[in-house]
A = this chain, B = another copy of it.
Amino acid sequence: MQGATPLANADSVDGMASLTPEAFEPALLNLISDWLGPEPTAVIACGMVGAKQGWVEAPYVAVPTMPLAPPVLVKTKSSVISVHIIPGLQQPNPADVMRGEETQIAGFLALNPGWDGVICMPGTHSKWVLVSAGEVVNFQTFMTGELFATLSQHTVLRHSIAAVGWDETAFFEAVEDAISKPERIAARLFSLRAEDLLNSQPKSTARSRLSGLLIGAELAASRPYWLGQNIAIIGADKTADIYASALARQGAPATITDPTRMTLAGLTAAYRLTKENT
């Protein structure tokens, strides 16, 4: 079995932003105590829990490398858990980092052995990742999701952009415009405000245009990644669909895969790695 079927799940808002290093173990035990027995239960963690400000730092491994480096053992006070954290990846030049995505990439490769191509991981910080012969060759991060949130909430555009609603035509126009005339991107933003003031442009149209402009800017810059490549998108629902449709219009078809499934498969692969290394 390459995939993994969860028996139970639990969520918490606690994380790097709110916990001191000492507070991670009690927070985890509090969350999963019902699942634990007398013998040590293996806990495999990935993401910001391994950052410098996290529980225990799991230092970045430099690309090119396999997505999964040996997970770092965490010393715990409790003996009913045995915790490992998966290291993130770094790229010296151009400087870039990831934490968490390497686990999804490992999951994708566990489920698709021998796959070569480019993995697109849209989100707050989108990643484009070139994968070959089971290794992450290089990657590039874009702040697209964070830019969208920040521009639509913290700038003058907030008065003209809806929180929901979608205008597909406006989205595709803006993507196409950003890709074909990237030198004009900076000229497009204030228009979203002015079109509202002068022409009462619907705020859902402005939302779609901003999304198209930012995704178009990402696609213009990531073209060396996706042009003529085998593309897989690891992304949830609407966001993955939007990226796939924008890429399809550029003649670049992509397969969409589920991020939770990839994470679980990646954690499973990392768990096996800890067993091999024992």
Contacts and interface: CB of A to CB of B under 8 A. Distances in A.
A211 to B, nearest CB: 13
Contacts of A272: none
A167 interface: no
B125 A143 contact: no
A146 B152 CA distance: 12
A155 interface: yes
B95 A142 contact: no
A1 to B, nearest CB: 36
Interface stretch (A106-114, A181-189, A233-241): A181-189
Given A96-B194, A194-B95, A198-B90, A155 B151 contact: no
Interface string A36-64: 00000000000000000000000010000
Interface in A155-199: 155-157, 182-187, 189-191, 193-195, 197-199
Contacts of A66: none
A218 interface: yes
A185 B96 contact: no
Interface string A135-162: 0000011111011001100111100000
A222 interface: yes
Contacts of A220: 183-184, 186
A199 B92 CA distance: 8
A249 interface: no
B217 A185 contact: yes
A: interface residue count bin:
35 or more
B190 A143 contact: yes
Contacts of A6: none
A141 B156 CA distance: 13
A75 interface: no
Contact of A125 (B97, B151, B190): B190
A141 B218 contact: no
A198 B142 contact: no
B186 A142 contact: yes
12 contacts: A92-B198, A94-B191, A94-B194, A95-B198, A96-B194, A97-B197, A143-B156, A183-B183, A183-B221, A183-B223, A184-B220, A186-B217
Closest A-B pairs by Cβ, 6 of them: A95-B194, A182-B183, A186-B217, A187-B221, A141-B190, A186-B221
Given A142-B190, A184-B220, 9 more contacts: A60-B198, A90-B197, A95-B197, A96-B190, A97-B193, A143-B156, A185-B186, A186-B217, A186-B221
